Amino acid sequence: MLVLFDLDGTIIDSKTTILKCLNILLEKYNTSYSMDELRPLIGKPLEEIIKRKVGSEKLAKELRMKYREIYVKNYLDGTKIHDGVEELLMELRKRKIKTGIITSKLGDVARSFLKDLKISRLFDVIVGEDDSEMKPSPAPVIHACKILKEKPENCVIVGDSEDDIIAGKNAGAKTIAVLWGYRNRKQLENVNPDYVVESVGQLKNALFVLSDIEKEPEAKREYIERLEKTRKGKFIRVEDFAKRL
Q: Output 243 or 66, whichever has higher pLDDT.
A: 66
pLDDT at 233: 45
Q: Which of 10-19, 93-102, 208-217 has the lowest mean pLDDT?
A: 208-217
Say if residues 47 and 106 touch (Cβ distance below 8 Å): no
Range of the domain at 117: 2-12+80-243
Q: Report the distance separating Cα 190 and Cα 193, nearest Å.
A: 8
* pLDDT tens string 189-211: 999 999 999 999 999 999 998 88
Q: Report the distance separating Cα 210 and Cα 214, nearest Å.
A: 6
CATH code, domain with 232? 3.40.50.1000
Residues 32 and 116 reside in one and the same domain: no
CATH code, domain with 61? 1.10.150
Specify whether 108 is catalytic: no
The yes-or-no verdict on residue 24 having pLDDT over 70 is yes
pLDDT band per the 50, 70, 90 thresholds, residue 227: low
Q: Report the distance separating Cα 6 and Cα 4, nearest Å.
A: 7
The yes-or-no verdict on residue 245 having pLDDT over 80 is no
pLDDT band per the 50, 70, 90 thresholds, residue 214: confident
**Of the residues 47, 74, 101, which one is the last residue of a structural domain?**
74
Residues 165 and 231 reside in one and the same domain: yes
Catalytic residue among 6, 8, 131, 164, which?
6
Residues 139 and 47 reside in one and the same domain: no
Residues 53 and 109 reside in one and the same domain: no
Residues 6 and 20 reside in one and the same domain: no
Q: In the chain, how many domains are there?
A: 2
Please report, as a single letter, which amino acid is at residue 6: D
For residues 12-38, average pLDDT:
96
pLDDT at 64: 92
Q: Report the distance separating Cα 126 and Cα 129, nearest Å.
A: 10
Residues 146 and 236 reside in one and the same domain: yes
pLDDT at 44: 85
Phi, psi of 157 (to 5 degrees): -100, 130
| Helices and strands in the chain, H and E counts | 12, 8
Model pTM?
A: 0.86
Q: Which of 72-76, 136-140, 156-160, 174-178 has the lowest mean pLDDT?
A: 72-76
pLDDT at 43: 83
* pLDDT tens string 28-65: 999 999 999 999 999 888 999 999 999 999 999 999 99
What letter does residue 28 receive in the DSSP assignment? G
The yes-or-no verdict on residue 116 having pLDDT over 80 is yes
pLDDT at 228: 55
